[in-house]
Structure formats: structure tokens, C-alpha cells
Amino acid sequence: MSIQEFIDKEVKSNDVVLFMKGTPQFPMCGFSGQVVQILDYLGVPYKGLNVLESDDLRQGIKDYSNWPTVPQLYVKGEFVGGCDIVREMFQAGELQDFLKGKGIPAREGAQA
């Protein structure tokens, strides 16, 4: 299985996937850490994939989405964005609505 096939399978078989530096328990980068905090705050179940464990994955995810940086958040197979976009959506309350629209349980009334 190629790295692109692996990424595609992860993205499509998990409702919420975060490609990040480090793990949800131990983020190794401030940007990844911010997205972890937001998802945890909203109580959203998600799978974290650590790109620091594999150079193939680290490069592969950038090619997969045509997006040059990590973290990258995917919901139901769709690329939502990196740290800036996720934070902007969260602060505007859009992320909560977006998740709800996708049928993902998120805590009510949670705002920055």
C-alpha cells in the first residue's frame, strides 16, 4: 500500500482525523497543540496521526492535500484546514456548526 493509499484509507475510515506533530497526549508543536486543545475542548472524538514517526507520512500528507504544513484536520474525508483555519472557525462558532452538520458530536455552547 502506498503512502497516499494509506492516508486516503485513514481519512475515509475515521470520522475525524488530525495529522499532527506528536500525539494528542504529547503535541510536539504549538500549532498541533492548539488544534488538539480545540478538539478536546469540544469533546470531539478523533484519531491523531503523528507525522514525526514517518518521513513518508510527513511529506505524503502535504502532497495529499496540496497543503504545505501540519497540522491538518479532516472530517468525514474532507480537508477542513490547518491551525489558522480551525482556530478561526472555532472562534466564530463555525466549527461547532460544521461538525454538527457532519453528524459529529460536539459539546454545546462551547466558545472561545
Interaction between residue 16 and other proteins (CB under 8 A): no
Q: Is 48 in the site for other proteins (CB under 8 A)?
A: no
Choosing from 23, 41, 54, 62, the residue that interacts with other proteins (CB under 8 A) is 62
Residue 97 is a binding residue for other proteins (CB under 8 A): no
Among 68, 108, 109, 111, binds other proteins (CB under 8 A): 68
Residues 19-38 binding other proteins (CB under 8 A) are: 31
Nearer to other proteins, 53 or 63 (CB): 63
Q: How far is the CB of 68 from other proteins (least distance, A)?
A: 4
Print the SS3 string covering the chain: CCHHHHHHHHHHHCCEEEEECECCCCECCHHHHHHHHHHHHHCCCCEEEEHHHCHHHHHHHHHHHCCCCCCEEEECCEEEECHHHHHHHHHCCHHHHHHHHCCCCCCCCCCC
Number of residues that bind other proteins (CB under 8 A): 15
Q: Are 91 and 112 in contact (CB under 8 A)?
A: yes
Query: Which value, in Å, is the radius of gyration of the alpha carbons in the chain?
Result: 13
Residues lying near other proteins in the complex (CB under 8 A) are found at: 31, 62, 66-69, 79-85, 88-89
